[in-house]
Structure 1
């Protein structure tokens, strides 16, 4: 019974990518999605185990949001072939395909170790070796709207106000922007990982650091 709860039943049905006229906004009622702290992220992961019907699936979606900056539609349309090689072995990167990427843009993201462990375990236990990775309770591939609602529900259960499916993506971009220099990278690398067409868009995702005074003092 535990396996049934953790892994939704699956049907051989794919949701064809299409333009959605009405989208659930990731901005919320008060502007941009709020970034959550590392401790709050751990709370959200624990809440999946405590409250979520499909805890293993939802935990993986959170990891993809926070450690790969995937949008809701990119999570919903992620397929096993996007994370594996020709032999079916899971690789160390995530390929966002044209059908999943915003405006049909492809990109490849290095896979965070936490995602690699979680996705390998999930796919093995759920018996996923091809096709879509995420399914709803009725065995049909999840839609972007369903992913948005589920991630928002987890944050609400944690008591986090203003957090949405875009919170992980904003946190990812902000953290990388602040540490890019120490890894011999630049904002251009952050832009490419985020899948933005311009640095101007990437900049709108970045929160100002509370340590700006220390930066000036270092001159």
Structure 2
């Protein structure tokens, strides 16, 4: 784990110790990723620093015990005044509430008033998937879009994994030579170290086999499966650049990114009759509510068809 950022002046040693213990517990018992732990740390440091300025003294466990709803509202107003959006503020307040629940349980505090403060409502933005034709056109363009044939084959293979298996770009580029040859299902380690099984379509295996046939670098178990031109691990920027060139040629929107291919995987499965629980497992979502956003995409498509086709539309 990376070193913690410097403790602000408004944070008392006892509070810093409590924060460190809570973060350790989150990482150990809830399997939080390093990214999530660092985000939680930043959220709580912002909150505790605010309390120090708001009350005119360093935040301590004892002062935290006296928090009221007015304090939480003042924190929210301060964050909004600094330009924090509703979605980011809701996430920050969620981390704060988790910490407050933990410290109240540990110390026997009654923080029900502070914990009753509601987070701001915000409209969850829908992912922007590609249509099936757009995704296929993008793959075809990438396969022919680089003057070096093996690089073009590599980029097409990575994008086929994103669309055909619903992988995150980091998951695809994190694969090593020991994973090849792929079986019918691939074991992927996703966020928080959680493993999931992802079926591998023949078209994905074929695309990777073609890339490896052309690749000038020898496949080795302890080396990256997808190589950069100098032999190191391929970076996500290279795939993003390849897709950027393809979308410029095809006139696709700026939302046609590598991650949009993962969205497309989920949306196309749902449209073909896939159930949400299965799609949740395939994507590696911890919560079904995260996967349910794709039903909004499908509903939006159905409404568009209805309005264009219905005689009274």
Task: Report what 1:58 is aligned to.
Answer: 155
1:88-107 pair list within 5 angstroms:
90-97=182-189, 101-107=190-196
Calculate the aligned-residue CA RMSD, in Å: 2.7
* 8 Å contact kept, 2:224–2:232: no
- Unaligned 5+ segments in structure 2 are 1-33, 39-124, 307-313
Distance in structure 2 (CA, Å) of the matches to 1:105 and 1:146: 26
How far off is 1:33 after superposition? 4.7
Gaps of 5+ in 1: 1-17, 22-30, 85-89, 215-219
1:47 aligns with 2:47: no
Distance 1:208 1:36 in 2: 13
Q: Which residue number corresponds to residue 27 of structure 1?
A: none
1:75·1:147 contact (CA, 8 Å) conserved in 2? no
Shift of 1:150: 3.9
Cα gap change, 1:32/1:134 in structure 2, threshold over 3 Å: closer, same or farther?
A: farther
CA distance in 2, matches of 1:148, 1:107: 25
Residue 270 of structure 2 corresponds to residue 177 of structure 1: yes
Of residues 102, 112, 128, the one that matches 2:219 is: 128
What is residue 86 of structure 2 aligned with on the other side? none
Greater relative contact order (Cα < 8 A, sep 6+): 1
Look up the match of 1:166: 259
- Whether the aligned pair in 2 keeps the contact of 1:93 and 1:108 (CA below 8 Å) is yes
Paired residues in the alignment total: 176
Q: TM-score with structure 2 length normalisation?
A: 0.50
TM value normalised by structure 1:
0.69
CA gap of 1:150–1:158, structure 2 versus 1, over 3 A, is: same
Tell me which structure has the larger Cα radius of gyration.
Answer: 2
1:180-202 CA distances to partner (integer Å, 9 max, x unpaired)? 45xxxx31111000100011001
Query: Could you tell me how far 1:43 is from its partner in structure 2?
Result: 1.6
In structure 1, C-alpha distance between the alignment counterparts of 2:243 and 2:192, rounded to whole Å: 23
Q: 1:69 aligns with which of 157, 163, 166?
A: 166
Aligned position for 1:38: 132
CA–CA distance in structure 1, aligned partners of residues 257 and 146 of structure 2 = 16
Residues in 1 aligned to 2:175 and 2:246: alpha-carbon distance in whole angstroms: 20
